[in-house]
Amino acid sequence: MCPGAMTFPLFRRAACAAFAPLLMIAACSAPAPAPPLADARIGGPLMLTTQDGQRLTDADLAGKYRLIYFGYSYCPDVCPVDLQNLMAGFAALEKSDPAVAARIQPIFVSIDPARDTPAQLKTYVRAFHPRLIGLTGTDAEIARVAKDYAVFYQREGKPGAADYLMNHSRIAYLMGPDGKPIALAPHDAKPEAIAAELKQWVR
């Protein structure tokens, strides 16, 4: 029998054994996937009023990821359901990975500043999670933030009527500590799925 017929399989097995650790290192050092909203023109400075009547700016959120949802407290259906889902997912993350959850600040931005005063928001956000911050402001301030975050909103009903609805985008963002967009939060998913999505992007 030709000697090469015996040595080649041995050489191949030896080569595989030698390269296996290198392959494992390469797999472990593979770059993390880019965030879905990387480089999207979404977001901007936050300068609004909290449910406690205090001004909040980006400096107050330094080092924090931001889970931001836009809506209004008088919403009869969509907003409370979305917020309940999001905060249930956030609570699930607090339970499974408290260190990760501690790095996220949940925020509710009102697109109805005429009715959503700080006092109104304080009662509203308290019903969903103790760490949820409610933000409101002047018409101009809300318009600017909504534009920065590509959020549509429009008042519906007769002009001057006290009882009206707000048509608005149904969207929740996960923003990074630098204020840049990372991903959309699945506001209509189960708590476990929401928690998993948040955990995936918090480094």
For residue range 120-173, list pLDDT tens digits in order.
Answer: 999 999 999 999 999 999 999 999 999 999 999 999 987 777 789 999 999 999
pLDDT score, position 152: 96
- The span from the CA of 157 to the CA of 150, in Å, is 23
pLDDT score, position 25: 44
Residue 129 assigned ligand-binding role: no
| CATH classification at residue 145 | 3.40.30.10
Residue 28 assigned ligand-binding role: no
Closest CA to 45 of 191, 179, 197: 179
* Helix orientation angle between 78-96 and 191-201, rounded to the nearest 10 degrees: 60
**pLDDT one-digit tens code per residue, 55-90:** 999 899 999 999 999 999 999 999 999 999 999 999
**In this structure, is residue 134 part of a structural domain?**
yes
Percent of the chain residues topping a pLDDT of 90: 77
pLDDT score, position 162: 79
**In this structure, is residue 140 part of a structural domain?**
yes
Q: How confident is the model at residue 14 (pLDDT cuts 50, 70, 90)?
A: very low
Q: How confident is the model at residue 46 (pLDDT cuts 50, 70, 90)?
A: very high
Same domain, 86 and 120: yes
**Domain tally, the chain:** 2
Mean pLDDT of 91-114: 98
Q: The domain containing residue 13 runs over which residues? A: 1-30
